[in-house]
Chain A
């Protein structure tokens, strides 16, 4: 549970209140929340999932893989049925699920994760290779995260881009967007 406010005494009051109803433990300053590491200074807040990424690489046995500088091959187009199905489909789904959680602080891998996640029902070797590529990219850039600076204006900005009819199977366009509050990336 996170408490946010501009009144330190008020926060102390809130903290003491639920004590007689639920057993709570005060963890002080927000540092680690659901895999998100929060670093605070007077100038900024920095969010990352370094520990989560490391554990992920360790659990998948990819700590020793060759690092890659990009998360996805820019030429690649994934198709639904181009080769044999993977034998261990649930492993593939688990990997994608973990990567999707990682996109919380890693918008740089958003597209690379989304693309192979469209084939969860029938993944093939090509999809698996694309997924491994993301892990190799993660290994090269473990500690990247989101940076919220304190001197950013409270102004909402939205950007979007679309690639007309770029999906080779449905001829649908691929659209993506990002929203900033001042200089901080939010969505």
Chain B
């Protein structure tokens, strides 16, 4: 995770070098993360489970989970590494 000091430093360099600065937004970022742990969730209201007394087994990360931000970070780094970027 980038420190805010790094962001400031980069922007200061951008100003002197006249570089381009652009921004991307990842839709529903936290939903991309894969879960390695077994996490269960109660069936939401309005959804009828096939059998009563069943719960959902999560396969992807959800907002509000403890590991959501970590799993998203892991997903982003692997995607970038697949695209042949190197991590500093």
Chain A residues within 8 Å of B, Cβ to Cβ: 1-8, 11, 15, 17-18, 21-31, 33, 36, 38, 40, 42, 44-45, 47, 104, 146, 148-154, 181-182, 184-187
B27 touches A25 (CB 8 A): yes
* Count of chain A to chain B residue pairs whose CB atoms are closer than 8 Å in the complex: 124
Chain B residues within 8 Å of A, Cβ to Cβ: 4-5, 7-29, 32, 75-76, 79-80, 82-83
A22 touches B11 (CB 8 A): no
The residue in chain B whose Cβ has the minimal distance to the Cβ of A153 is B16
Select one of B12, B16, B18, B79 contacting A18, CB under 8 A: B79
The residue in chain B whose Cβ has the minimal distance to the Cβ of A1 is B24
Select one of A1, A152, A185 contacting B26, CB under 8 A: A1
The residue in chain A whose Cβ has the minimal distance to the Cβ of B19 is A6
B15 touches A184 (CB 8 A): yes
Q: Beyond the given A21-B79, A154-B16, please list 4 additional residue pairs across the A-B interface where CB-CB is below 8 A.
A: A18-B24, A150-B18, A181-B12, A186-B12
A181 touches B18 (CB 8 A): no
Q: How far is the CA of A184 from the CA of B14 in the complex (A)?
A: 11
Q: How far is the CA of A184 from the CA of B8 in the complex (A)?
A: 9
Residues from chain A with a CB closer than 8 A to the CB of B83 are: 17-18, 21
Q: How far is the CA of A33 from the CA of B83 in the complex (A)?
A: 25
B20 touches A24 (CB 8 A): no
Residues from chain A with a CB closer than 8 A to the CB of B29 are: 22
The residue in chain A whose Cβ has the minimal distance to the Cβ of B85 is A14
Residues from chain A with a CB closer than 8 A to the CB of B79 are: 18, 21-22
